[in-house]
Amino acid sequence: MLVLALVGVALLAIWAYFLNERVVERFSGTLWKLPATVYAAPQEIYVGQHLSPNKLVDDLDALHYRDRSDLVETGTFARVGNEIRIHRRAFDFPDGNEPDKQVRVVFVNDAVKAVTDAAGADLGISRLEPMMIGQLYPDINEDRILLNAEQVQKDAPLLIKTLITVEDRDFYTHHGVVPSAVLRALFVNLTSGHTVQGGSTITQQLAKNLFLTPKRTYERKLAEMIMALEMEWHYPKDKILEGYL
C-alpha cells in the first residue's frame, strides 16, 4: 500500500509539474490572443465621382470626424461653400501607409470636381481610412475588448465589487482554492447523484476557461484546483482578476 501511495504521489507531482508549465507559459506571454481587426472597404474620393457634400459629411460622421474649422487636428473637417476640407487621418492600407493629410474636395452638382491638397496641388483621388467592423478571434469567432484590472477599477469600481461579492467573496484572502467550499460541493454532488455545485473560486474558473474543457469530471476538477494553486503561487491577485475579466 505504501508503494502504491508513493507511486500515486509521484504521478500527481509529475502531472502538477506539466500543468504548471502550461500556466507559466500562458501567463508569461499574451494571456489572450490578439484579435484580427476587420475593416470595411475604404472610402475613395475622386474627380468625376457622383457624391454629394451631404453624403460625404455622413461618411465622415460615421468615421467619427469632427466639424472643426481650424483643421489643426487629424480627424476633423470643415464645410466651406461648395468645398469640404478634411484633415485625413493616417492609415496603414494593404498597399502601403498613407500619412495624415489635409485634403480639399470641390463639388459641382453633387459630383466631385476637384481633389487637391491644402496648397491646391491636384491629387485626383484620395481615400479615407476604412471603418472598423469588429475584432475577430478566429479560434472562437468572438469579438472581445481587452481590459486590465486597473482600468476597470478606475472606470467601474462597482463592477469589481459586485463580481467578487457574487462569484468569490474570499477572492483576496484565499490561495486559489477554498477547501471547505470544495468539500461542501463534493458532499452535495455525491448525495444528489449528479453535479449540482462547483465550489469554484474565480481563480479556478479562470483555470477552467484558459486551459480545460467545460466537461464536468473529477479529473478536470482536480486539474482545475492544481492550476488555480499554481496561478496564485506565481501571480498577484490583480493579474488573475485581469485574466478573468
Q: Which residues contact 1 (CB under 8 A, 6 or more apart)?
A: none
List the single range of 137-141, 187-191, 225-229, 233-237 with lowest mean pLDDT: 137-141
State the sign of the Cα–Cα–Cα–Cα dihedral 5, 7, 13, 15: negative
For residue 209, is pLDDT > 50? yes
For residue 195, is pLDDT > 70? no
Is there a contact between 143 and 134 (Cβ–Cβ < 8 Å)? yes
Helix locations, the chain, DSSP H = 2-28, 53-62, 149-155, 157-167, 179-192, 202-211, 218-234, 237-244
pLDDT at 136: 62
For residue 115, is pLDDT > 90? yes
Is there a contact between 85 and 104 (Cβ–Cβ < 8 Å)? yes
pLDDT at 171: 87
Question: What's the rounded mean pLDDT across residues 39-51?
Answer: 89
Q: Which residues contact 205 (CB under 8 A, 6 or more apart)?
A: 167, 244
Residues of the chain with CATH 3.30.2060.10: 37-135
For residue 33, is pLDDT > 70? no
Maximum CA extent, the chain: 94
Question: What's the rounded mean pLDDT across residues 117-131?
Answer: 91
pLDDT at 134: 67
DSSP symbol at 193: T
Domain 37-135 -> CATH class? alpha beta
Residues of the chain with CATH 1.10.3810.10: 2-32+146-244
How far is the CA of 166 from the CAs of 11, 163, 171, 202, in angstroms?
A: 36, 5, 11, 10
Question: What's the rounded mean pLDDT across residues 198-216?
Answer: 79
Mean pLDDT score across all residues of the chain? 81
Question: What's the rounded mean pLDDT across residues 161-189?
Answer: 80
Q: Which residues contact 118 (CB under 8 A, 6 or more apart)?
A: 85, 101, 102, 103, 104
Residue type, 133: I
Question: What's the rounded mean pLDDT across residues 208-234?
Answer: 83
Question: What's the rounded mean pLDDT across residues 166-193?
Answer: 77
pLDDT band at 10; cut points 50, 70, 90: confident
Q: How far apart are CA 114 and CA 108, in angstroms?
A: 9
pLDDT at 196: 45
Q: Could you name the CATH architecture of 2-32+146-244?
A: Orthogonal Bundle (1.10)
Q: How far apart are CA 87 and CA 66, in angstroms?
A: 10
pLDDT at 9: 78
Highest-confidence range of 9-23, 68-82, 93-107, 144-158, by mean pLDDT? Answer: 68-82
Q: How far apart are CA 32 and CA 49, in angstroms?
A: 44
Of residues 71 and 33, more confidence is placed in 71
pLDDT band at 97; cut points 50, 70, 90: confident
pLDDT at 208: 85
